[in-house]
Structure 1
């Protein structure tokens, strides 16, 4: 076969197909796939590919976040350096959708799918050759951009898997599948690490990426309608916006580790991020065809949506930070938490399915209110934890939180998306930008807030415990003697035994201070979730009252 023939075949493989759409099959907007009728076998294939691609996108970051201690030792990094790996992933992931949407609109879905899934394969393969900090940073940041494309593809494939009448339910399932990746990563990470340490994690991720590429190449999405989308100012706005989001993400991801007031770069980052974001919004505010519609984003309805969804993301960090952190403090790790993460994974799947089944477009705020209400109850129950608490005592509460995390996400997405579509297809990019900030940066903000509060409360509780320890107290003396007796067989010197007894008592005091601090974190989460629930309840009651008032006035005018 000649080179020209090979080039022609490759071009046909990558090029978007020409398609004559029936009126009911046309894409809802340029850049999204059409909606033709599919036979049952093809729908099943679309659904399987959606789950594969969605989990691949979610596991890219989940495998790193769930195994930071192992990767820290393998790569020879300190705690601040290893924290950069998941942070730079978010830094790149949160902004890239601004350009990906327009890329699909201008070049089509086929080039989009093959280019970015192929890029993800190449970057995952590069992980196997990462041996130092800076190369790991570059690879993780690039992976964050590629994974954003995979999340969109998973959503589009799920939309093809279900009939057109269930299209909104497909959106709920498609956006929920990647959220199930975090408990899944913690569930099988011990087995992967036992095979060949950290490289096995990347080999597994590479295998998923290769399977995703093969599946996407074998079964195309229906083509989209295309239009000229990019404008020169888009890249100016993206550069400013991405820079601001990257700086904010760095501050939130590293602030509690290097500590907020001890690292001068945190202040400089905020000084740089604020004018960058202000400049991006100023440019967009005065554009004829803005990439980000500032007027719509500043409307009361969208501001309320942003506040509620951001609070939901913050309180849902209770599971990933507080619950897992408590169990880790008490000596449990991924090897011992198999049943715990199995229950969380099952609850996450149930949340996705039940959210899709019960979806009501007229009542999209109700699932969000239910989710934050469940988090408030579960967090308050977790606040009764002690140093004797083990994973089985948290099964019910953490299952409720895992269920809430996936149950609320789809309706929250649809709440904003339906309002964006009412204003016009151009508002979708603005909403995706907002939702990306809330979902990704909000998760970082939740971990930063809870982590900072935990450290502050641990210091306060530790000081209170130490002040209460009186060496003349018979109970304290007995505890010191018991600690010394425990090491009596290996330490013969009485002075050293007494010092070792004091060290063991200090360790116990630190552990108790940490447990009390996590209980304080649980109470904080419960208060924030309850406040969000009450705010949503107020909004719903106010809307109902206004609707009744309007109906009463209409009846009076008609009479």
Structure 2
């Protein structure tokens, strides 16, 4: 070997980066994750939280404008399944750059919306284009962290960032809509997409080796799953609005969804390398986790579909809701920060106990609402529920990831499908079922109140006389004053019936949360009793289990490949 070769600088080991430089790099990647996560969350919820205003801008009814939320949510439910394999086959760096460029183009195209038809097309494209952003947020948050902090720090923070979307959209929307209507929301989405594009190109992700993983049957299975998930989104979103039995096509869409998902399961059960491991997903442990995630997501619908709609019925404007949703956003963030201190695999049951207790108490507090209740009186209860959401979801995801990684990398995708489907479909199903329950109970309460409110009742006659007298300065005609007074009493009765229906829904939420809490306590007591009565010898597989937990902590993202060494910005 020549002297020049032996003394070449390239042969010398690279000097480790200074701690301050590595800290700056970690903060840069964390900020990129937060921006990308908020970009996706706000884009998804800007329309959902402003359906009435968007309907006015487009000149359509609120029911017609609700289809915009369906158009966005339908592809979001299934796209991550395919994107995981696309990322593995074509490279993480290329995936990130192309994904954010597509999203930017779609955000730019949204500025051309002129009617409902064009809005539906752009919302559908936006739902597809935004699907990679949540994955990118996870990867950017976990990329610079050491293995022991990926799950304990990165996972709670990034999940809180994604969960901030609904509440933060309600905080920001009123100021934007007041200035320029729906176009202001598109401009902000476009601006955040442009910032995300710059961050993705400036802060590259470390790409693992590419693998050819996409097979023809994968595309067929994904297409069937997309049809099934999309159909369920349509049915549970529009079922409570059109009413389930009033529109025949709702039944046909539901039947098509079930048939498509059934065919996908049949195909996957007969493949050597399935897209989803159905047999593992149907094991008792995974079924238990799936049901747990689904139930908790249904419970959290109390926050997204309960208080906002009740206040809308009571005449509270979007501007007046800003303080309570600011508090809800703060509760979500505080829950994530609390997890950094306490989240470990062994503490998952205890964290879930606290979360269920907070939801049960918060929902019970809300169940005492009246027509005079205003957002300030529900801030504490809603903050408790938001805090509980952070306490529950991140530990549940960590628990599922550990179980999947312990069996091998191929099981990670199956778990991700379970998690995403319970969150996306669970949110849609929870909102639809919650609204259905509200409508049913409201109709019942209205019927009961109409039976009580008759002109033969002296109290009712006295109330009519009082209101008619109060209207005398505005309405000269006595018959018109009496008719207006009757209309006001009927409206108050309707509002009271709605509030009573929401109280029933809050009590049901509290009951479900309390029941789940009791079942979890019984489950933990059974495990404790079994350990005391039949103590087992130290298991031989303990090192493997510890290794699985370490591997889970080293995973770069809950829907991506195993972690690569911590990179630094190359620019």
Tell me if both proteins adopt one fold, taking TM over 0.5 as the criterion. Answer: yes
Alignment-derived partner of residue 493 in structure 1: 477
Say yes or no: does 1:330 pair with 2:326.
no
Q: Could you tell me how far 1:194 is from its partner in structure 2?
A: 1.5
Q: 1:553 to 1:405 in 2, by over 3 A?
A: closer
Which aligned pairs between 1:493-512 and structure 2 lie closer than 5 A? Answer: 493-512=477-496
Distance 1:397 1:291, change over 3 A: same
Per the alignment, residue 458 of structure 2 pairs with 474
Q: Conserved in 2, the CA contact under 8 Å of 1:97 and 1:148?
A: yes
The residue number in structure 2 matching 1:318 is: 302
Query: Deviation at 1:552?
Result: 5.9
**What is the CA-CA distance between 1:354 and the residue it aligns to?**
1.3
Q: Within 2, Cα distance between the matches of 1:314 and 1:218?
A: 39
Contact 1:177 1:352 (C-alpha < 8 Å) held by counterparts: no
2:360 and 2:511 in contact (8 A); partners too: yes
Q: 1:93-130 CA deviation, whole Å, 9 max, x = no partner? A: 11011111111111111111011111111111111111
Contact 2:68 2:120 in 1 (8 A): yes
Q: Which residue of 2 aligns with 1:213?
A: 197
Residue in 2 that maps onto 1:32: none
Counterpart contact for 2:102–2:129, Cα < 8 Å: yes
Match 1:384 to one of 368, 385, 393: 368
**SS across alignment from 2:445:** helix
Length-normalised TM-score, structure 1: 0.90
Q: 1:122 aligns with which of 67, 83, 105?
A: 105
Tell me, in whole angstroms, the C-alpha distance in 1 between the residues paired with 2:165 and 2:203: 24
- In structure 2, the gaps of 5 or more residues are 1-12, 14-18, 540-571
2:293 matched residue in structure 1: 309
Between the two proteins, the alignment pairs up a number of residues equal to: 521
1:37 Cα deviation from its structure 2 partner: 12
Name whichever of 204-213 and 58-67 sits farther off: 58-67
State the 1:233 CA deviation: 0.4
Aligned to 2:128: 145
Q: Which residue is 1:361 aligned to? A: 345
Q: Distance in 1 between matches of 2:341 and 2:78?
A: 31
Equivalent in the alignment of 1:524: 508
Q: CA deviation at 1:38?
A: 7.2
Q: Distance in 1 between matches of 2:277 and 2:486?
A: 62
Compared CA separation, residues 549 and 287, structure 1 to 2 (3 A):
farther
> Which of 429, 438, 450 is equivalent to 1:454?
438
> Distance in 2 between the 1:186 and 1:554 partners?
52
The question of whether the paired residues in 1 share the 8 Å contact of 2:99 and 2:132 is answered with: yes
Match of 1:292 in 2: 276
Q: CA deviation at 1:553?
A: 7.8
C-alpha distance in 1, partners of 2:340/2:275?
A: 30
Q: Which moved more, 1:161-170 or 1:500-509?
A: 161-170
Query: Aligned pair 1:77/2:60, yes or no?
Result: yes
Task: Report the counterpart of residue 42 of structure 1 in structure 2.
Answer: 25
Cα separation, 1, equivalents of 2:478 and 2:378: 42
1:465 counterpart = 2:449? yes
Provide the secondary structure at the position in 2 that maps to 1:128.
Answer: helix
**Residue pair 2:352, 2:392 contacting (<8 A) in 1 also:** yes
Which among 92, 97, 122 is matched to residue 109 of structure 1?
Answer: 92
The correspondence for 2:45, drawn from 57, 62, 68, is: 62
CA positional deviation for 1:477? 0.8
1:317 deviation in Å?
0.8
* Structure of higher RCO (CA pairs closer than 8 Å, 6+ residues apart): 2
Q: How does 1:1-12 map to 2 (within 5 A)?
A: none
Is residue 242 from structure 1 mapped to residue 222 from structure 2 by the alignment? no
Q: Does the aligned pair in 1 maintain the 2:30–2:140 contact within 8 Å?
A: yes
Could you say which residue in structure 1 is the equivalent of 2:567? Answer: none
- The CA RMSD measured in Å over matched residues stands at 1.8
Q: Write the distance in 2 (CA, Å) between the matches of 1:200 and 1:177.
A: 22
CA contact (8 A) 2:156 2:390 kept: no
Deviating more after overlay: 151-160 vs 358-367? 358-367
Which residue number corresponds to residue 16 of structure 1?
none
The 5 A counterparts of 1:80-229 are 80-169=63-152, 170-229=154-213
Aligned equivalents of 1:431, 1:344: Cα separation in 2: 29
State the alpha-carbon separation in 1 of the partners of residues 20 and 128 from structure 2.
32
Please list the CA deviations of residues 178-228 of structure 1 after superposition, one character each: whole Å capped at 9, or x if unmatched. Answer: 111221111121111121111001100110000000110111011222211
Which residue, 384, 402, 405 being the options, matches 2:389?
A: 405
1:58: how far off? 0.7
- TM-aligned CA deviation for residue 239 of structure 1: 0.7
1:37/1:163 contact within 8 Å kept: no
| Contact persistence 1:79–1:257 (CA under 8 A) | no
CA displacement at 1:163 relative to structure 2 = 2.5
Separation of aligned partners in 2, 1:97 and 1:255? 25
Q: SS of 2:535's equivalent?
A: helix
Which residue does 2:420 correspond to in 1? 436
CA distance in 1, matches of 2:509, 2:114: 39
Q: Offset of 1:171 from its aligned partner?
A: 2.1
State how far apart, in whole Å, the 1-side matches of 2:130 and 2:20 are: 29
Q: Distance in 2 between matches of 1:151 and 1:456?
A: 36
Q: Which moved more, 1:389-398 or 1:335-344?
A: 335-344
Post-superposition offset of 1:395? 1.0
